[in-house]
Structure 1
Amino acid sequence: MRLVDLPRTTSFQLALRFLLLFGAASLILFGFLYWQTAVYVRGRVDDWLTREQSVFGPMERDNLLRRLTAHVVADPTLERPFTLFDGSGQRVAGTTLDLPVGMLAAMPQDVAMAFDLARGGQDIKFRGILHRRPAGELLLIARSMEGQRKFAAVLIDAFVWGALFTTLLGLIGAAIVGADSVRRIDAVTRAIRRIVGGDLSERLPTHDRADDLDRLAVVINDMLGELERLMREVKGVCDNIAHDLRTPLTRLLAGLERSRRRNGSTEDYAAAIDEAVQETRGVLNSFAALLRIAEVESGARRTGFLDTDLREVLADVAELYEPAAEQAGVRLRLIADGGAPLVMRGDPSLLFEAVGNLVDNALKFTPRGGCVTLRVVSGTGGIGIEVVDTGPGIPRDEQDAVLRRFYRAEASRQTPGSGLGLALVAAVARLHGMDLAISDARPGCRVTLVRLDASDDGAAVVTQAVALERRLLPTSL
């Protein structure tokens, strides 16, 4: 971290802006308080002058002279000068004042006013009232404002020193905050450089503060997790395609070469062509499934979302697969009748396809005499779909792996299929913001698609399968 980087950090600049805003607000507040204090003090002084003038102004001349003489003795500091002048401006009694020539003539009468007097080589501010008596004499009652001036100077000094101290603390605080931001940004930068270098397992650091950077880092980490998952799938797709499509392509090539070497009949050639067509269709179906998954994962289908009743989706799936279930000797149960519509925003054709894949898998692996159950589930704040079979189930350590493309839990791969059905179901679930949970039905397998917030149009919902079973699903059939 370099000190030259501090002024460019957002935190430092934001702290400076707040410091300037606080300083401006403090200056306005101080100015208002200073003005209100000055007005209040001047008003109190003017009230005192008015009271004193109302007492001394009407006095008899002899009594006034005695009171002025006594006042001079009582006020040797000349803080409150009381002086009587004759009509020409000459002092008659009271405090001795060094007044400029013509000053009395220029003063308004019976009005509080401010004026300066020279004392000790400097001008001292006073406020006073000049009153003309009936005999033509002028009575000046004044009060020094030096105490108020010193108080104002102390108040201004206190404000200046307080402002300097606050500015210093603000700059130190801004530097600390800026340094912390620089450290955190440096840590994020280092993590991003490792990610750019190819380490997709790296994540941006967080500090459990729940501040802006942490919230942004959490979102970016979620994005990186999704990117890592997609990159893993992309890296594995080529190997999976080579592994799973090599066998049908090899059979196709071998059959064609065998037909070419042999001099068979027309029926033999027709049979070889039919076999080649069947193998080609299987390969094309695999590629079509891959393209279908890519289309779903792109999110383009989200624009066609509409209100979809899950009960109707399950009823359509049950109607379609009922003949296949009868042929396989498996009972297909639908538990979705006799209730209010369970509506969520989604693509009905994709939901139909996802549930159809689940039912198709369940019928493949459920032995004769078994049962496949379709039901809608609902609970506080969420709705979903459940497919349960009585087959061999999926081992716990493979429940996540079966969602990958081309993964087959059956090692011998004797059951027809390409290993893309559950991958398509997982893609549809992510598109609709649903949680796909695979659990043990004892016996058999239970697959649930549940969205906790049915009003959201695609927000991801991350929950655990056990929590879903406890909150939304019955404990047994």
Structure 2
Amino acid sequence: MQSRSFPAAPVRSGRRWYTTTFRWLVGYTALFGVLLTTLVGFIAWTANASIEYDTDSILKWQLIYFDSISDENLPGAIYQRLEHERMHTNYYGLFTASGQYLAGDMFEQPPSLQFRRQGRTIDHNLRLLDGGPSPIVRAMGEVRPNGMHLVVARDMTTVLRIREVVIRTLVMGGVVAMLAAVAGGFVLGMRQIRRVREIRRVTQCIAHGDLDRRLPVAGHDEIDMLAHLVNHMLDEVERLMAEVKGACDGIAHDLRTPLVHLHTMLARIAERESVSTDVEGAAMLERARTETDQLLERFRAMLRISEIGTLQRRGGFAAVELQPLIQDLAELYEPLAESRDVRFAVSIDPAPEIHGDRALLFEAFSNLIDNAIKFAPPGGAVSVSLRDTGAGPVVEVADNGPGIAPSERAAVLQRFYRGDAVRHLPGSGLGLSVVAAVLRVHDFALTIEDAPDMGGADGTGGPGARMRVECWPRALA
């Protein structure tokens, strides 16, 4: 089981298509398309109904005109009409009751035509006397008093072509308008996404401890109103934390001075001959000196954490080679491990340079190694390794001590916290707090996990703990 205690890895922001902005854009586009289709369909239906109504009115007036002509003069009137046709927009046909041709330019009656003065659109299905191509016509027929069938028709090709041009233009204009609206909405949506991404990036920095950062404000919309409120809240949080931190640092600094005086006084008392003859008093005095040393160590650690926290972020960083740094630490702590009968193994592989503060990293890694040696049992084992993972160097410090329970792995990075398994061992509970402060400055990640593969020379030891430090900055989304 693994716990990334610090810092938290950010969530990637590549899934922009799942954002509310994109969903609104898709919904708006779909709604626009449906409304455009409905509008075009309604206009086409209205235009077609209007054309048919106007054409039927013309055909009815023509039938009324032919009703005023007698049956014997009707063929002549039809031919006279045909002779005066210039654009040839009208067609006429006179047939017997059985459908035989009598007069006009229609060779036969249109199929399925009702002779009730009701207009009917005939699509290229009209047989003409000259055998020419049949246009799209609107036809209407009636039965004469003598039983003859009179059919009048009007060419609708030009009118329908104009209707098609208008509808096509409307569709093309609507599509262009929809594309322009979608493009505009996409641009505005991407602008909002960029603003939210920037706010998220700044929020990640604030979550990692950079309380000086503030959310960007670009105007006076809802996001800016929220950013103003959050920035005001951050100002108050920073002020309160600065007051608490200042009070704690002041107390630690003020108490350290009398403790130093007390330690000096106890040392002088221990040098007196009268104390050396009193065995019980000497033991109590030595215990008081030890307790005073522990208090001084705690105050020094507290002030060191505050000092690291106030460093300017990456202000004094430079290129750092981890191989010689780990080698120096190994040479420093190998004698301590031997004195405590702890097997000390070091593995150093070639690793690229990193950007950081060498002194701070030395202090952090030394705290990890010191803790590992301190918590390893007699005859136990401690290992220190440096390797390159491709993403960057990784430093691991492992031991076979009591380990750290998964439920405590986040708490051990807090000040003064000590796990139940190590409360009987001396310590201040501030070592990992210093490590966390250094890694926070570098944006490095610390993983705490069990080390089941560790074992002492005599097989003793517990589950152990492995501290894994990823030595590259966490990418902020």
Which category describes the TM-score, using the shorter chain as reference length?
0.3 to 0.5
TM-score normalised to the size of structure 1? 0.45
